[in-house]
Amino acid sequence: MRLGAIIVIGLVLSVAAVATIALQRPNNEDRNQVGLQQLPITVKQLKPGINNSVELQCGTASITPPNILNGFECSLKNNTDKSITAANIIYSTVLEEGDLETRDSRNQVLISNFHPDFYEREKNIRPGGSNSLRPAGVFTYHNAVIKGIEVYIDYVEFEDGTSMGPDVEGSKLIKDFRVGAMKYKGWLAKESKQKPIDTLLQSTPSDEELQRSEIGLTNLTQKEGARRYGIALRNLYKQRGPTEVQKYLSTTPPQGIN
């Protein structure tokens, strides 16, 4: 089953504790008040040099002074001899409000094997390969001034099960995403014994459905994993029909895949 591309998940790590700062998409009038500026990005690599490691390559961040982050793009380059199956990148917007400096930090999770049913090795970041990263949207920080952008690699998982990085949040986020997919599959398998596949997969998983206590999803990351599994299964249903879906729901995931 082809997913088309490695999954990128944008998640909030922590929001700077300044009550007057709010995040929202600006309207066109807000964005055109002042001309765009390019802000250098501070990149923290895993280790000095780039040989036999994983490297971040970033351009500049586009901002509309003083407080609108329009976006930026980085690339995660695999300089090792092993394939990358998942990674977490943390980027922080450095903010100033009066004399107070704060950071709005967010996670960008990349994952090619969110569930064994839909794992495609060709979607891994292979040795010498790379994958682009962008913030999920445009952000306005009211009553604050953007002073800088910081980006660093938090966690990298390889196909052989090894990993690298400080792992502030990465391994937990990736595990939760996979747990959510597993829980949702288990729930669908039980439901498919009582309801037609057509009924179960007539739409993508809604927030209301994912809140069902019997599914057992305990956080937003698990819900995203469940949602992704539901989308992949629905695509399978459209391409191959209910019989093929039932085969997936009747199988136990193979062992040995992260």
Name 76's bridge partners: 56, 131
pLDDT tens digits along 70-98:
999 999 999 999 999 999 999 999 999 88
> Are 183 and 143 contained in the same domain?
no
> Are 143 and 43 contained in the same domain?
yes
Domain range for 152 is 7-166
> Are 154 and 185 contained in the same domain?
no
> Are 145 and 100 contained in the same domain?
yes
Residue 202, pLDDT > 90, answer no
> Are 183 and 79 contained in the same domain?
no
Smallest CA-to-CA distance from 229 within 193, 173, 190, 179 is with 179
> Are 148 and 178 contained in the same domain?
no
Kindly state whether residue 254 falls inside one of the protein's structural domains. Answer: no
> Are 82 and 135 contained in the same domain?
yes
Q: pLDDT at position 49, please? A: 61
State pTM to two decimals. Answer: 0.81
pLDDT tens digits along 92-128:
999 998 889 999 999 999 999 999 999 989 999 999 9
> Are 129 and 107 contained in the same domain?
yes
Q: How many domains does the chain have?
A: 2
> Are 121 and 188 contained in the same domain?
no
